[in-house]
Structure 1
């Protein structure tokens, strides 16, 4: 699916494929403060979770990626694992466009909520998700899901769960 973001570039959205695993790993490594996973984990995201993930390309380069999944016991939730946008594609609303793309897929037909976890210092993610919800008049709630001391032995910041919704597909 093609979306034009300006007169000088075209960004194409598609489901990721196994060949994207190492490209996704490289992209995420260039998008601090995102946690890097193994290339193998990224391969699984690109294959097992392809229906709920999106790759964005510009001029043949991978410039955006969202990994997500529908939790087995919460079929009305799209959990967004990571959002990565390359520096050269920032400022175009790409993350929100990729998220909207995911919500329009047949695989998301029953989704009424978006959930994600965000550390307190990741201002870009907070801003993107809050803006996405605000622009669509979707309610939000947030709370600590994984506590730094309890879950990470103090080695990682708290992870807040941000929940957007409920909404219907037409609102997304």
Structure 2
């Protein structure tokens, strides 16, 4: 199995949308949002392709006012590519890009019950010999009115490449 990692194409927003829909419990964003992720934010995203099919996607952005911090919005790996470390490979691929040379910190949010994502980001922190700080960014009651689990901010850095 040979998976190609690359910058997404502008016509892949629909494929991203479908991939996320097929990957519960991920939050499904609007199709319009996914179109923006593959165009306006394409340079800070990664598409993973297998035999012409999108099987993985990482979206995020360099934080406004903080050019040293990348906020990873979402990672999705399709069923056909799961169990092969693709999520980590996509993040490593992204962080190795020349366009990411100013980034020394990686941030993302993870719910307390999402152990696979917690393991992934702890593993990245170890690999990069970086500190990992965890704090609540969006509280279940205060921000979500009790309708969504709290989102904990995972902040890794400084990153050593």
Distance, in Å, in 1 between the alignment partners of 2:84 and 2:129 is: 21
Distance, in Å, in 1 between the alignment partners of 2:84 and 2:121 is: 15
Q: Offset at 1:137?
A: 2.0
Q: Offset at 1:14?
A: 1.0
Within the candidate set 44, 54, 58, 2:36 is matched to 44
Which residue in 2 is equivalent to 1:25?
Answer: 17
Which residue in 1 is equivalent to 2:128?
Answer: 136
Uncovered stretches (5+) of structure 1, i.e. residues with no partner: 1-8
Q: Offset at 1:133?
A: 1.5
Contact 1:54–1:67 (CA under 8 A) maintained in structure 2: yes
* Residues 1:16 and 2:16 aligned together: no
Which residue in 1 is equivalent to 2:116?
Answer: 124
Distance, in Å, in 1 between the alignment partners of 2:88 and 2:75 is: 10
Deviations 1:108-146 (A, max 9, x none): 010000000111111221111111212332210000000
4+ aligned runs moved over 6 Å, structure 1: none
Question: How many correspondences in the alignment?
Answer: 161
Contact 1:33–1:122 (CA under 8 A) maintained in structure 2: no
Which residue in 2 is equivalent to 1:102?
Answer: 94
Q: State the SS of the aligned residue for 1:149.
A: coil
Contact 2:128–2:159 (CA under 8 A) maintained in structure 1: no
Distance, in Å, in 2 between the alignment partners of 1:75 and 1:136 is: 19
Distance, in Å, in 2 between the alignment partners of 1:167 and 1:19 is: 32
Q: CA RMSD in A?
A: 0.9
TM-score by length of 2: 0.97
Q: State the SS of the aligned residue for 1:152.
A: coil
